A and B are shown apart, each in its own frame.
Chain A
Amino acid sequence: MSAAPLPLLEVDLEVERRAVTVQAGFRLGAGQRLAIFGTSGAGKTTILESIAGLTRLSRGNVRIGGRLVAGKLAGETALAPRDRQVALVRQPTTLFPHLTVEQNVAYGVRQSPARGHIADLLERLGLTVLARERGAALSGGQRQRVALGRALASPFRVLLLDEPLSAVDVAAREALRLLTIETSIERGAAGILVTHDLAEAQAFGGQLGIIDDGRLLQIGGAHQVVVSPSSRRVAELVGYGGFIPVPLTAGRWHAIHPDRVLLGARPERGLVLTGPVVSTRPYGARYECVVSDRSGEQFTIHLDQAPGAGEVCTLTALDPPVVEA
């Protein structure tokens, strides 16, 4: 008869927005993380604000540790914001402009012992020299570090991050990402990151959710969602560059991922495609080519060497998933 432990965060919500209706349903346990990836305007920020209990839900509710945070239930009042133990990093950042960097970071720290950690935290955030600056004097990346620090210093159980590193130099991101994940695990917190950068979402190191037009289309492992998208729309969002109709069936496609192709015919490893190269351009250290299939469908692939335009090439798409509309 022993009940299973309650999940730390339970989300089942619907919010009406002017352009879209945002819906989300999932549960996260202590120490678990979810990255929600989607285009801008898909409803990512709305989901975070709803989980923090800052938005009126049109249906459903949000619970943290079993206690109601958002939504209406007969006989239950929602926790006051100060008791929710939610840390929220917004985009764009919302610092307290009249306070210094140090005062901002220490804002949510109530007990004096924890204040000793502030200096360490500032150091790890690379903010020590800016400790006495006011929020308004900082650059976008610095502001994001302060906002992240303010969240991480507070006693949170649920960490909500809205594009927290978008303006931080790429070189510094890894350290900040590690700090975030480490702190979240130490606290036994549930973490949610929303971003329009797939690599950033995968680097968060937890489940990956795909949101489009207000709906969570798929949630799964960070690699698994990308290699086996549940629909054509998910495939498009996670970077598939072409869709070859499956012969003799309407509304089903082989989804071709630009990074999952080999030159040459290797029928045992996937789908062999042949066709002329339509265009080629540099793509990082590689080349991005658009190839036209025999059926006339065009798809994008990334190759190590540049084929000339018009050159007919034969490729193998590695285990392309079959997706439906």
Chain B
Amino acid sequence: MRSTAPAGSMAATGVVPSFPIASRLAAKGSTILALLGALVIWLALLGPFAVLIKNLSFHSIRAALGPPGALEPLWVSLGASAIALGAMVLFGTPLAYLLARGRLPLARIVELGIILPLMLPPLVIGLLLIFLIGPEGTLGNLLADIHLTGVNTFFALIVAEFYEAAPFYVLGAHAAFASVDPRIEQDATLLGDRPLQAFWRITLPLAAPGLATGLATAWARAMGAFGAVIIVAYYPRGLPNQIFIAFQEFGLSGALPFALLLVVAALPLPVLAYLWSARTRARVAGTETT
């Protein structure tokens, strides 16, 4: 038994020298190329952040955000985005689940309806929303009955943000649910769970990392929604509008403090969600290799 071991290791070492040097160089070259590419993309994506930090002075921030009421757009954006996000979770989660399980009739058409707002330029969405929920619109008439109007109101802001951001959540949630093996949901019901129990105990925890990523993306889109918003909800003024107006009135130096405010307000949730979901994924699946 012992005598076979050296023979085996000799055979193994015999393979390495015969490995062509040219292909080893090629492997090294492609590694360098990949690292270079990663660096370029990283710089291109993160460059604007560096510029933002570099061009801001404490003085200009205080001048812009110091006056009373200057933070009002922040509260408007946070409030509207939170409500839009709540609506997405409430309506989008069941929709995404049914889509992922193929339980919806005309699923392809439904999916297309979700993707369409992504394809349309936000400005166009804004114009179409005026027809839909504006005072002259079909739904607008109904809304008027409950004293709501879809133009230049907080409600209009929420709707515009919803249109721009909801597809990101629904598509993310769809992918998250689709990644959960339907057979293990079946197993849970055979083991005594009601369908809703199985969803809580099995599907939701397993889909949570993907749901969090979708939610974070949608939050960032809602906070930053501008194209549709500026058409249907010039007032009340949210942060993106405020940036645009400050830019027009005072130029770059006037707009940058608000840009910083938007980044600071919109970014923590996505970053936290990303870190949490990466950790959870590693805990559930990453250990598979060991």
- Residues from chain B with a CB closer than 8 A to the CB of A155 are 192
Asked if A233 CB lies within 8 Å of chain B CBs, one says no
Nearest-Cβ distance from residue B207 to partner chain A, whole angstroms: 10
Q: A96-B184, A96-B188 are in contact. Are A82 and B288 (CB under 8 A)?
A: no
Is B190 touching A84 in the complex (CB atoms < 8 A)?
yes
Q: Provide the A257-277 mask, 1 if CB < 8 A to any CB of B, else 0.
A: 000000000000000000000
Asked if A136 CB lies within 8 Å of chain B CBs, one says yes
Question: Which of B136-144, B170-178, B263-271, B279-287 lies at the interface with chain A?
Answer: B279-287
Residue among B183, B283, B288 making CB contact with A94, cutoff 8 Å: B183
Q: Provide the A71-88 mask, 1 if CB < 8 A to any CB of B, else 0.
A: 000000000111010111
Asked if B191 CB lies within 8 Å of chain A CBs, one says yes
Is B287 touching A82 in the complex (CB atoms < 8 A)?
no
* Chain B residues numbered 20-52 whose CB sits less than 8 Å from any CB in chain A: none
Residue of B184, B190, B206 ringed by the most chain A CB atoms within 10 A: B190
Is B188 touching A107 in the complex (CB atoms < 8 A)?
yes
**B contact patch SS:** helix
- Residues from chain B with a CB closer than 8 A to the CB of A110 are 192
Residue among B181, B192, B284 making CB contact with A136, cutoff 8 Å: B284
Q: Provide the B69-99 mask, 1 if CB < 8 A to any CB of A, else 0.
A: 0000000000000000000000000000000
Asked if A154 CB lies within 8 Å of chain B CBs, one says yes
Is A82 touching B189 in the complex (CB atoms < 8 A)?
yes
Within the assembled complex, what's the spacing in Å between the Cα atoms of A154 and B190? 9
* Chain B residues numbered 181-225 whose CB sits less than 8 Å from any CB in chain A: 181, 183-184, 186-194, 202, 205-206
Asked if B290 CB lies within 8 Å of chain A CBs, one says yes
Nearest-Cβ distance from residue A79 to partner chain B, whole angstroms: 11
Interface size, chain B (Cβ < 8 Å): 21
Residue among A97, A107, A137, A150 making CB contact with B290, cutoff 8 Å: A137
- Residues from chain B with a CB closer than 8 A to the CB of A84 are 190
Point out residues on A near B: beta carbons under 8 Å: 52, 54, 80-82, 84, 86-88, 90, 94-98, 107-108, 110, 134, 136-137, 150, 154-155
Q: A90-B183, A96-B184, A96-B202 are in contact. Are A134 and B190 (CB under 8 A)?
A: no
Is B189 touching A98 in the complex (CB atoms < 8 A)?
no
Within the assembled complex, what's the spacing in Å between the Cα atoms of A150 and B181? 18
Given contacts A54-B186, A137-B288, 15 further A-B contacts (CB under 8 A): A52-B186, A52-B190, A80-B194, A82-B191, A84-B190, A88-B187, A96-B188, A97-B206, A97-B284, A97-B285, A98-B284, A108-B191, A134-B284, A134-B287, A137-B287
- Residues from chain A with a CB closer than 8 A to the CB of B181 are 94
- Residues from chain B with a CB closer than 8 A to the CB of A81 are 186, 189-190
Please list the 8 inter-chain residue pairs (A to B) with the smallest Cβ-Cβ separation, ordered nearest first. A108-B191, A81-B189, A137-B287, A136-B288, A94-B184, A82-B192, A98-B205, A98-B284
- Residues from chain A with a CB closer than 8 A to the CB of B190 are 52, 81-82, 84, 86-88, 108
Within the assembled complex, what's the spacing in Å between the Cα atoms of A87 and B190? 7
Nearest-Cβ distance from residue B252 to partner chain A, whole angstroms: 48
Is A108 touching B192 in the complex (CB atoms < 8 A)?
yes
- Residues from chain B with a CB closer than 8 A to the CB of A54 are 186
Is A107 touching B191 in the complex (CB atoms < 8 A)?
yes
Within the assembled complex, what's the spacing in Å between the Cα atoms of A95 and B287? 14
- Residues from chain A with a CB closer than 8 A to the CB of B194 are 80, 82
Chain A residue at minimum C-beta to C-beta distance from B186? A54
Is B187 touching A94 in the complex (CB atoms < 8 A)?
yes
- Residues from chain A with a CB closer than 8 A to the CB of B283 are 134
Within the assembled complex, what's the spacing in Å between the Cα atoms of A84 and B191? 9
Within the assembled complex, what's the spacing in Å between the Cα atoms of A81 and B205? 21
Chain B residue at minimum C-beta to C-beta distance from A160? B190
